[in-house]
Amino acid sequence: MLDFIYWPVSAIMWVWYWLFSHVLPDSPGGSGIAWALSVVFLVFTLRAILYKPFVKQIRTTRKMQEIQPQMQAIRKKYGKDRVKMTEEMQKLQKEHGFNPLLGCLPMLAQIPVFIGLFHVLRSFNRMGTGFGQLGMTAEETRSYGNYIFNVDQVQNFLDARLFGVPLSSYIIQPTSEWVAFSADGSIDFTRLNIIILVIPLVIISSIATHMNSRASVARQSAAAMENPQTRIMNNLALYVFPLGILVSGAFFPVAILLYWVSNNLWTYVQQHVVFGNIEKEEEAEKAAKLEKRSNNAPKPGAKPAVSSKPKPGAKPAGKSKTDAAGDKDAAVNMSKDASTDDEVDLSKTSSNGATASGADKTKSGSPKGGTPKAGGSPGSNGAKKPASGRPASGPGGQRGGNQQRRKKRR
């Protein structure tokens, strides 16, 4: 029924046993160590395959902790409407890229491997009569292969000893099944030997499970701890699971207990490595943000740059070089014209002033009542009056005419 699990598990275990059997001595003790290491490295192989999903699980858990306040707000807002609350939570999780199934993948993937390993180990000794067992005799058990393992390898496993105890034995195993652990049916171990080996393995596995769970809980945020579901899961991981290992240790073979110990050892190391790397990444991101913020901040004593507004009537910036050169030439020409006009005005003014002064001298030099010129009216003093409709010649009148001409040219 579950052969698609049993065959891969037995194949991985066979590869590691084949490697270690060529290094360790061919004896019950040497074979016992080789088989034990094959179980341990079966665990390491599985956990190495699940390393990337485990990292994603940790990152998913961190994202879950970040959005916990928003999820609590949704629970308060839609507490009476379960459908709407579920929709809003799914929408929030989708926005933040949160996948609940991804967080459970490493744990879920280990379940079929544990079931497969338990079945393969139990199938080395098929004398049991319980659920799913075949109830074979000792001779039949030692005459059949076990999935990928051939008959010789099955017999080698049954004869192997780890600290004097068979790897597939357990505390409550009936003594009638012990005869399969030797070729002649002799029994070279006792139940006390099994207990002495099993109890330390169970205690180590239980404590390791508690410590791994405690390290995981310690990294949770305060907002996550306030979630009732999170508190329930934390209590299960901290107390119920370790206690379950203590109670159930008597029902599992020695090799399964080795699986638990090695699995917890890998989890302990992996947690510290992964969490350490993630914390370093977060610290680096925070440092980069602070550095960017400090670079953008104004230096002490420096005034912030303020854009100056254009003055009323000023020309807008952004003219081309050609336009600027044209404006400069026009200004130069206007200044030249103005200077030329000023010179002309000054020359005319000086000439007119000289003429007027000469006339004044003539007038002042002639006596009163002198003979007037021809055409002059009697009683006149001899000075000519200006013609009607023309401005009087003089500095003031000449300057006004110059200003009018200058305006026309502009």
- For the stretch 1-57, pLDDT in tens is 788 999 999 999 999 999 999 999 888 889 999 999 999 999 999 999 988 888 887
Q: Is the pLDDT confidence value at 384 over 60?
A: no
CB 138 within 8 A of CB 166: no
Confidence of residue 382 (pLDDT cuts 50, 70, 90): very low
Tell me the C-alpha to C-alpha distance, in Å, between residue 353 and each of 142, 344, 356: 148, 14, 5
- 210/395: higher pLDDT: 210
Residue 374's pLDDT band, with cuts at 50, 70 and 90, is very low
Inter-axis angle of helices 191-218 and 254-296, to 10 degrees?
10
**CA distances, 229 to each of 58, 74, 233 (Å):** 18, 16, 6
Residue 170, token pair as written in the block: 């357990």
Distance in Å from the first CA to the final CA of the chain: 107
pTM value? 0.65
For helices 241-248 and 191-218, the axis angle rounded to 10 degrees is 170
* DSSP state at residue 291: H
Using the predicted structure, report yes or no on whether residue 393 has a pLDDT greater than 90.
no
Question: Is the Cβ–Cβ distance between 351 and 343 less than 8 Å?
Answer: no
d(CA 162, CA 121): 15
Average pLDDT (192-210) is 94
pLDDT band, residue 314 (cuts 50/70/90): low
Query: Does residue 334 have a pLDDT over 80?
Result: no
Question: Token digits for 86?
Answer: 């579920």
Q: Cβ(177)–Cβ(168) under 8 Å? A: no
Query: Residue 235 corresponds to which tokens in the numbers above?
Result: 């209590």
Residue 345 or 155, more confident: 155
**Ramachandran angles phi, psi of 316, nearest 5°:** -65, 145
Q: For residue 362, what pLDDT is reported? A: 41
Proportion of the chain above pLDDT 90, given as a percent: 29
More confident residue, 377 or 150: 150
Please name which of 37, 40, 18 lies closest in space to residue 29, comparing C-alpha atoms. Answer: 37
| Cβ neighbours of residue 58 closer than 8 Å, sequence gap 6 or more | 274, 275, 278
Structure tokens at 323: 């336009």
- Determine the Cα angle at 66 with ends 63 and 70, to 5°: 115
